[in-house]
Structure 1
Amino acid sequence: MIEVYIDGASAGDPGNSGAGIFIKNNGQVEKYAIPLGVLNNHEAEYHALIKALEICRQNHFKIISVRSDSTAVVNAVEKEYAKKEKYRILLNQILSLSKDFDLFFIKWIPSSENRSADELARKAIHLNDKVR
């Protein structure tokens, strides 16, 4: 099973945002710091999951376990419901992408267990300036 740690971060509300993705695959580690442009923190969290699912799909992973410290994203995916329209649109993308895997799990973890993804997300915030 592939372990995928994700985090989204935003420097403002909204502000420059980034996604951090840390993947453990049979002892191998992959790290991604992806600039996301200007978003709020919740949007960044959703986009981090979308990016992670896209990466896992490109790598032809079949069984993935995603860990996130975002209760909003984890609850939305588990309940398949988001109250606000802008989050529903992102959630629908996530649910569609999740069907590409034989098994897809998502689990909430405390921030203390998500430091690697958090560091990558914060790094990605600063990469926004280089993309423009």
Structure 2
Amino acid sequence: MNESHWTLYCDGSAMPNPGRIGLGAVLTGPDGTRHELSVATHAIGCNNEAELKALTHGLEAAKALGATDVRAYSDNSVLVEQLGAKTAGAVKPIARLAHLFDDARTLLDSFDHVSVEWIPRHRNAQADALARSALGLEPKRVARFGKRGADLIRNKANSVQGKH
């Protein structure tokens, strides 16, 4: 990791889908400084549009803070596939959002080093909470269990089964 490396976790929310769009992003600088974005766009759109706008808002914030090397993470596989498609026909494009994907690609190309990678939803809970907060919604509950917690749950389940 070089000294200018930034990390961006982004998520968009559309409630209902399609519906109002909220954006969330967690941007961490090379020195560990954290920046959080929670934006209500007052636009109506689908979840993929919300996810894409969250990415571009996060990248624009990174650019404004002087970032040249960004690793972005999204839990939206469609967004990651669309942006990663290098050859025509590799992934069926979302025609209605083509201009937004073009804008995102232009923004991505403006960085010296950049990547956009898919992550599971549970690893993106903070960005999701910020996107939902922008819409006045409560964060989703994400259950994380360490080995001890999983063992306790398993033992509890076994003891309940044993009583029947």
Please confirm whether the aligned pair reaches a TM-score higher than 0.5, indicating the same fold: yes
Q: Verify the 8 A CA contact 1:82 1:88 in the aligned structure 2.
A: no
Higher RCO structure, 1 or 2 (CA under 8 Å, sep 6+): 1
Q: Which runs of 5+ in 2 are unaligned?
A: 138-164
Q: Verify the 8 A CA contact 1:82 1:91 in the aligned structure 2.
A: no
Residue 49 of structure 1, CA deviation:
1.0
Q: Which runs of 5+ in 1 are unaligned?
A: 128-132
Instruction: Indicate which of 9, 23, 47 corresponds to 1:41.
Output: 47
The structure-2 alpha-carbon separation of the partners of 1:107 and 1:11, relative to structure 1 and needing over 3 Å to count, comes to same
For 1:28, give the aligned amino acid.
T
Normalised by the size of structure 2, how large is the TM-score? 0.73
Residue 82 of structure 1, CA deviation:
5.5
For 2:58 and 2:94, how far apart are their aligned partners in 1?
Answer: 22
For 2:11 and 2:127, how far apart are their aligned partners in 1?
Answer: 5
1:23-55 Cα offsets, whole Å, 9 max, x none, are: 111211110001122111111011111111111
For 1:41, give the aligned amino acid.
N
Bigger Rg over Cα: 2
For 1:29, give the aligned amino acid.
R
Q: CA-atom RMSD, angstroms?
A: 1.5
Is 2:34 aligned against 1:24? no
For 1:68 and 1:53, how far apart are their aligned partners in 2?
Answer: 12
Is 2:65 aligned against 1:55? no
For 1:76, give the aligned amino acid.
Q
1:43-77 Cα offsets, whole Å, 9 max, x none, are: 10111111111111111200000000000001111
Higher strand fraction (1 or 2): 1
Residue 19 of structure 1, CA deviation:
0.7
Normalised by the size of structure 1, how large is the TM-score? 0.90
Matches within 5 A, 1:1-132: 1-25=5-29, 26-36=31-41, 37-80=43-86, 83-126=93-136
Residue 112 of structure 1, CA deviation:
0.7
